Amino acid sequence: MAIAKEIKSSLESAPLGDREEEYPPVEYEISLRVPVEDVGDFAWRYGSKIEKIEKVKPEKEKRESEEEIKALRGKPAATTSRTFFVPHLPHFQIGEKTTGVEKRAIINQEDLEVWEKEKNAFAMLKKFLLSEENYKGKFVAVYGGKIVDHDADDRELAKRVYEKYGYHPIYFGRVTEEIKIIEVPSPEYG
């Protein structure tokens, strides 16, 4: 966790701050290596900014992390008007077994957070929707906290909504009190 805190502090010191008028705003891309145990925490904070995740051996990992943190400290982004770094975090190949912490790193947290908000909006609206004949038993699409479309066929609905609003995290919920359980009994499903 100590290294994650160092990285966080380096990232937070990157903006130009008081010298914003002197230097135009610059996009900062940070290249870092993070110990596996800190990946979950790091991905949670900077998930949307992670471009590439790369797995490295533990002994190499520690050395490079320290070097790169030192490099960041030695060259604060504010002194270079056009500094670009590329993020590197532990990467997991398709099918490679991952631990719980590592798994969190490969989930796009920003998408999930947006989608969770839409899901919560649906939960709040559900009681009202159940009382409306137009919606009852049908699927609704929630985007920006609002019901944007509905259909008895969720595939048709998804097609229409993604076409109209773009491919974003949009929540598709069925207006019903019934709880349907899907079975995937293969042990390897996980």
Binds other proteins by CB under 8 A, chosen from 1, 22, 95, 134: 95
Those residues whose C-beta lies under 8 Å from the C-beta of residue 13, and which sit 6 or more positions away, are 76, 77, 78
Contact between 54 and other proteins by CB under 8 A: the answer reads: no
177 binds other proteins (CB under 8 A): no
The answer to the question of residue 106 lying near other proteins (CB under 8 A) is yes
Give the one residue of 21, 22, 96, 133 binding other proteins; rule: CB under 8 A: 96
Of 49, 115, 148, 151, which one interacts with other proteins (CB under 8 A)? 115
Report long-range pairs for 146-152 (Cβ below 8 Å, ≥24 apart).
146/121, 150/175
DSSP classification of residue 188: G
Please identify which residue in 24, 127, 134, 167 interacts with other proteins, judged by CB under 8 A. Answer: 167
HSE-CB at 38 with a 13 A cutoff on CA atoms is: 19
Contact flags string 144-163 toward other proteins, x per CB under 8 A:
----------xxx-xx--xx
In this structure, are residues 91 and 68 in contact, taking their beta carbons and an 8 Å threshold? no
**Using the rule CB under 8 A, is 178 a contact of other proteins?**
no
DSSP symbol at 168: S
**88-89 and 146-151: which strand pairing?**
unpaired
Residue 86 interacting with other proteins (CB under 8 A) = no
* Contact between 112 and other proteins per CB under 8 A: yes
Is 90 an interacting residue with respect to other proteins (CB under 8 A)?
Answer: no
CA–CA gap between residue 172 and residue 74 (Å, rounded): 48
Positions in the binding site for other proteins (CB under 8 A): 92-98, 103, 106-108, 111-112, 115, 119, 154-156, 158-159, 162-163, 167-173, 179-190
